[in-house]
Each structure stands twice: as C-alpha cells, then as structure tokens.
C-alpha cells in the first residue's frame, strides 16, 4: 500500500498524531506507511503546526483533478496517445478490484499488467512499465506464483523467465478458495471441540463452521453453478432423498438462464 495516496481517514490520523506530538516515524508506523510518505504529506500541507486534515484532503483532491504534464523530448509535439490513456485507466480499475480482495497494491499492479499483456512479461519489462524495483517485482511474482495466479516460462535459448497468466487462472483461483474454505471448516469444527460446544466461544465457532461449510458446499459445485436459490434447494433435497427425477421434472425447477447453461455445457 506504500505507493497509494493517503485517504481521508489516514489524514485525520496524521493530524491526531501531530496533535499528540508524535514524530513522523511513529505516525507512519501506525499507518503502515513509509516515514517519507508522512513527511511529504505534512510538508506540503503547512507543516506540523498548521496541518489540517480537511485542508489536506481538499488540496489532494484538487491536485488529482489537475491534468498531468506530459514530458517530451525537445521538438516532439505529438499529442497524448488516447489508447494508452484508456489502457492505463483500465489497468488502474482492474488493480483496484484486485486490491479490494486483500492483495498488496504493488502485487496487484504486477498481476494486472501481466494479465493485460499478449505473451507475458519478463521481470525487466515489468520494472520498466511500473517503475518499481527488481526486488518489488520478485516479491510480487513469488506471491502470485504461490497463489497459482501466474506461471513461469523459460524463454527459448535464454535464462530469462517470462511470467504469463494461464487461461485457467480464475478456475485455479476458485479451486484455491474451495480448499481454503475446507481448511476453515476443519479448523472451526476442531475449535468447537476444544473450547466446548456450550461455551460462548464454542457457539460462535459452531456458527462459523456452519457458514464455511455452506460456502464450501456451494463452491465445490464449480464456478458455473447450474442452479441457485430455490431450484438449488430442490435439487439438493432430491439428491439427498435419492428420488428419481425425469428430465422434464428437472427442467421445471430450472430458470431459462439455467437451462441455457445446461445446453451450452452439454
């Protein structure tokens, strides 16, 4: 998160820290930010004695609205590339969606950049595109490889690795989530036994176990469930009871959209 702008809540915490006479390093530690980020924020907004969260937020919004100057070589009068602007906006939006799932911001930017490439990227290409360090790229690809969101391919006749996103990346991510929910089911169920099913903590864990069990059961059907809601309940009841059902009866409990999915996957 170190590369992101401070938000309103963080600016209020900066103001509170300054009022409590905390130094920049301590404020940064509490925010989970580099000290330099807090130092620049305070310096550009009237300094420690005059820093105001509302004014700093308003100034930041004004800066964000200003068009950025494009630095060009002398004599280069080309207009900005609208295609690149649209691409950059898309990558930013994509990255924000990934960050919202809990992935670190730099790692999210690396993932979406690889995802938007035609043939994958090398570490050097990622460094050049994102203007981040080789160490940041290395940490990001290790993280993403561990989640099976990317894979490494050796370039022919070179020692360089190229990072690519497989066609099944989201299915692999889904399966990883299924396995994670199964682990939560095992852990919370064991917690009920350890803490006691009649204790407040045990009762709380039992609710969690039921929740994760339900999520796991639903997700185990795959990322393309054939039935949801009331239809899914009917089908589950039929499966548990072992009641034979004709094709016509099955179609009668499915929506038109679900029947279309069946036809496509047949």
pLDDT at position 227, please? 47
CB 101 within 8 Å of CB 87: no
Work out the pLDDT band at 178, boundaries 50, 70, 90: confident
Work out the pLDDT band at 68, boundaries 50, 70, 90: very low
Identify the CATH assignment for 82-166 out of 1.10.10.10, 1.10.1050.10, 3.60.15.10, 3.40.190.10: 1.10.10.10
Work out the pLDDT band at 107, boundaries 50, 70, 90: very high
Q: What is the DSSP string of 164-205?
A: E--TTHHHHHHHHHHHHHHHHHHHHHHHHHHH-TTSHHHHHH
Strands of the chain (E only): list them. 121-122, 151-154, 161-164
Work out the pLDDT band at 1, boundaries 50, 70, 90: very low
> 121 — phi, psi (to 5°)?
-140, 150
Quote the mean pLDDT of the chain: 80
pLDDT digits (tens, 9 = 90+) for 204-234: 999 999 999 988 888 887 665 544 555 555 5
pLDDT at position 62, please? 77
> 18 — phi, psi (to 5°)?
-65, -40
Every domain of the chain and the residues it spans: 8-65, 82-166, 168-223, 226-266
Q: Token match 């006749």: residue? A: 157
Q: Against a cut of 0.75, is the pTM above it?
A: no
Q: Is the pLDDT of residue 182 over 60?
A: yes
Q: Token match 């595109």: residue? A: 129
**Cβ neighbours of residue 188 under 8 Å, at least 6 residues apart?**
205, 206, 208, 209, 212
pLDDT at position 80, please? 55
Q: Is the pLDDT of residue 23 over 80?
A: yes
Residue 19: other Cβ atoms inside 10 A = 10
């Amino acid at each position: 998160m170190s590369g992101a702008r401070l938000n309103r809540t963080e600016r209020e915490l900066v103001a509170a820290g300054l009022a409590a006479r905390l130094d920049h390093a301590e404020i940064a530690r509490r925010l989970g930010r580099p000290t330099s980020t807090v130092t620049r924020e305070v310096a550009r907004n009237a300094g420690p004695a005059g820093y105001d969260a509302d004014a700093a937020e308003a100034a930041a919004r004004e800066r964000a609205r200003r068009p950025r100057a494009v630095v060009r070589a002398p004599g280069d009068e080309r207009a900005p590339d609208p295609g690149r602007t649209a691409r950059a906006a898309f990558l930013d939006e994509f990255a924000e969606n990934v960050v919202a799932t809990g992935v670190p911001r730099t790692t999210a930017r690396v993932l979406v950049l690889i995802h938007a490439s035609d043939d994958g990227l090398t570490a050097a290409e990622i460094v050049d595109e994102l203007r981040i360090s080789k160490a940041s790229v290395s940490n990001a690809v290790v993280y993403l490889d561990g989640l099976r969101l990317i894979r490494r391919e050796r370039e022919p006749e070179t020692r360089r690795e190229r990072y690519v996103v497989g066609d099944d990346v989201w299915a692999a991510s889904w399966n990883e989530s299924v396995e994670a929910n199964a682990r939560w089911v095992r852990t919370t169920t064991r917690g009920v036994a350890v803490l006691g099913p009649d204790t407040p903590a045990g009762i709380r864990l039992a609710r969690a176990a039921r929740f994760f069990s339900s999520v796991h059961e639903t997700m185990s059907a795959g990322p393309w469930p054939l039935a949801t809601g009331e239809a899914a309940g009917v089908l589950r009841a039929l499966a548990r009871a072992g009641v034979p059902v004709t094709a016509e009866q099955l179609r009668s409990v499915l929506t038109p959209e679900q029947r279309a999915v069946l036809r496509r996957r047949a």
